[in-house]
Amino acid sequence: MDAAKNKYSIIVPTYNERLNIALIVYLIFKHLPDVDFEIIVVDDGSPDGTQEIVKQLQKLYGEDRILLRPRAKKLGLGTAYMHGLKHASGNFVVIMDADLSHHPKYLPSFIKKQLETGASIVTGTRYVTGGGVHGWNLMRKLTSRGANVLAQTLLWPGVSDLTGSFRLYKKSVLEDVISSCVSKGYVFQMEMIVRASRKRYHIEEVPITFVDRVFGSSKLGGSEIVEYLKGLVYLMITT
């Protein structure tokens, strides 16, 4: 399938990303000059003025390229993707973070990999040759790696990076997988890829370097780690 015949809907959930959203939008346009795409910003009522910045970006790039689809408050990452998906007009959907931890320079590699393989899902991975993490201390690296090893051992998902959130989906596949997921927050990413694997969808990987956020504070805390462990047990039982 020719990339020129495809349209890519890029869903970017935001909360207090005023300092990052303009740069990531610029980089997406820079790295996808010949690709038909739209950026769907799902903002959860950011008090820092994120939505006002997005409205300025709409004036610059056009409201057909930058779609602002806000929600009143923080309702979870999984439901943010569901909300964005309702407004996606592309036949492919990209999900990525707004904090610059997922560099848009990898998007052409995702698209190329999908075109070459016909994959239903292309996921970025930190844990193969060519991938990595920048800006994390040793403890956070060990925690992330340990979480993935534990999930690999218990769930056998067939992918190397379960907790990554930089992915390209066929829209129909995302609609199918997302409808069967019940988790919220950061566990959602793991459940998505595990259920996709169980459904025998073709999954390919692209090595990426994850960069810790440049501006703002991380939203990952102790409660998310507890939810991850609960989610792991849940998936062991239900998949």
- Give pLDDT tens digits for 81-132: 999 999 999 999 999 999 888 999 999 999 999 999 999 999 999 877 777 6
Least trusted range by pLDDT, from 67-71, 84-88, 101-105, 184-188: 184-188
pLDDT reading at 152 higher than 70: no
pLDDT attached to residue 188: 82
Amino acid (one-letter) located at 49? G
The reported pLDDT for the residue numbered 226 is 63
So what's the pLDDT on residue 163? 76
Q: What is the pLDDT of residue 191?
A: 86
Over the range 196-223, which residues count as b (16 or more CB within 10 Å of their CB) and which as e? bbbeebebbbbbbbbbebeebeeeeeee
Can you give the pLDDT at residue 146? 64
Tell me how far apart the alpha carbons of residues 17 and 37 are, in angstroms, rounded to a whole number: 21
Q: DSSP letter at 71?
A: B
3-state secondary structure of 51: helix
Q: Rounded CA gap, 114 and 168, in Å?
A: 8
Where do the H-state alpha helices sit in 36-186?
50-61, 77-86, 107-117, 138-155, 171-179
Q: 101 versus 28: which is more confidently predicted?
A: 28
pLDDT in tens, 2-11: 666 899 999 9
Pairing of strands 209-211, 132-134: parallel
Contact 148, 228 (CB under 8 A): no
pLDDT at site 185: 62
pLDDT given for residue 90 in this prediction: 97
Strand partners, 204: 122
pLDDT at 75: 84
- Give 162-173 pLDDT, tens digit per residue: 778 899 999 999
- Residue 192 is inside which H or E element, if any? helix 187-198
Residue 222 has pLDDT above 80, yes or no: no
Tell me the mean pLDDT in the region 43-71.
Answer: 97
Under 8 Å between Cβ of 188 and 164: no
What does pLDDT average to over the chain? 84
pLDDT number for residue 41: 98
Exposed/middle/buried for residue 159 (C-beta within 10 Å: 0-12, 13-18, 19+) = buried
Using the predicted structure, report yes or no on whether residue 32 has a pLDDT greater than 90. Answer: yes
State residue 88's pLDDT score: 98
Q: What is the H or E stretch that residue 10 is in?
A: strand 7-14
Does 220 score more than 70 pLDDT?
no
